[in-house]
A and B are shown apart, each in its own frame.
Chain A
Amino acid sequence: MAVSELGGVVELEGWERVPEQPLPSRVLSGILRFARAKPLGAFCGFVVIFFMIIGDLVPETLNKASSLAGLGTPAPYLADVLEKNTTVVYPYFQDSLRDRLEGSSLNHLLGTDPTGRDLFSRILFGARTAVMVSFGAVFISQAIASAIGIASGYYGGLADKLAYRVVDVFTALPGLVVLITVLGVFGSGLWQLILVLGVYGGPLNSRVLRGQTIYIMASPFIDAARVMGASDRRIMLRYVLPNVFPLIILAATVQLGFIVLLEATLSFLGYGLPEPYPSWGRMLSLDGRNYMRAHPGLAIYPGVAIALLVFSFNLFGDALRDVLDPRLRGSR
Chain B
Amino acid sequence: MQTYILQRLLLAIPTVILVTILTFLFLRVFLPANVIDQIMGEYARTDLELRAKLEKELGLSSGLPNQYAEWLGVAWFWGGPEGVLQGNLGESLYNGKPIMSELIHRVPVSLELGLWGQFSALALAMPLGVWAALRQDHWPDYGLRSLAILINALPGFWVAVLLLTFGSLWFDWAPPLRFEYLWDDPVAHVGIMLTPALLIGLTPSGGLIRLVRTQMLEVLRQDYVRTAYAKGLASHAVLYRHALRNALIPVVTVVGVGLPNVIAGTVIFEQIFLIPGMGRYLVTSVDNLDYPVILGLNLIFAVLLVLAVLIVDISYAFIDPRIRFS
Contacts and interface: CB of A to CB of B under 8 A. Distances in A.
Contacts of A6: none
Nearest to A303: B158
B227 interface: no
B168 A180 contact: no
Contact of A186 (B15, B32, B154, B309): B32
A181 B298 contact: yes
B145 to A, nearest CB: 11
Nearest to A264: B155
B15 A172 contact: yes
Which DSSP category, helix, strand, loop or mixed, fits chain A's interface? helix
Contact of B264 (A165, A174, A187, A281): A174
B305 A174 contact: yes
Given A265-B264, A292-B165, A303-B161, A177 B282 contact: yes
Interface string A278-320: 0001001010010011001001100100111011001100000
Contacts of B263: 174, 176-177
Contacts of A189: none
Contacts of B30: 186
Nearest to B33: A185
Contacts of A299: 161-162, 165-166
Interface string B283-323: 10011010000100110011001100100000000000000
Contacts of A269: 267-268, 271, 283
B165 A165 contact: no
A169 interface: yes
B140 interface: no
B152 interface: yes
A185 B14 contact: no
B282 A181 contact: yes
B298 A306 contact: no
B157 A284 contact: yes
A289 B165 contact: yes
Interface residues of B, number: 47
Contacts of B154: 307, 310
Contacts of B168: 293
Contacts of B267: 176-177, 180, 269
Nearest to A308: B153
A181 B279 CA distance: 11
B157 A314 contact: no
A299 B302 CA distance: 33
A68 B298 CA distance: 45
B38 to A, nearest CB: 11
A266 to B, nearest CB: 10
Nearest to B287: A184
Nearest to A288: B161
Interface in B145-189: 149-150, 152-158, 161-162, 164-166, 168-169
B147 to A, nearest CB: 12
B165 A172 contact: no
A184 B161 contact: no
A292 B153 CA distance: 22
A284 B162 CA distance: 10
B19 interface: yes
Interface string B254-275: 0000001001100110011000
Nearest 4 CB-CB pairs, A to B? A184-B286, A176-B264, A303-B158, A311-B153
Interface of A: 165-166, 168-169, 172-178, 180-182, 184-187, 257, 261, 264-265, 268-270, 281, 284, 286, 289, 292-293, 296, 299-300, 303, 306-308, 310-311, 314-315
15 contacts: A173-B302, A176-B264, A180-B286, A185-B32, A257-B152, A265-B157, A269-B271, A284-B157, A289-B164, A292-B165, A300-B162, A306-B155, A306-B158, A310-B152, A315-B149
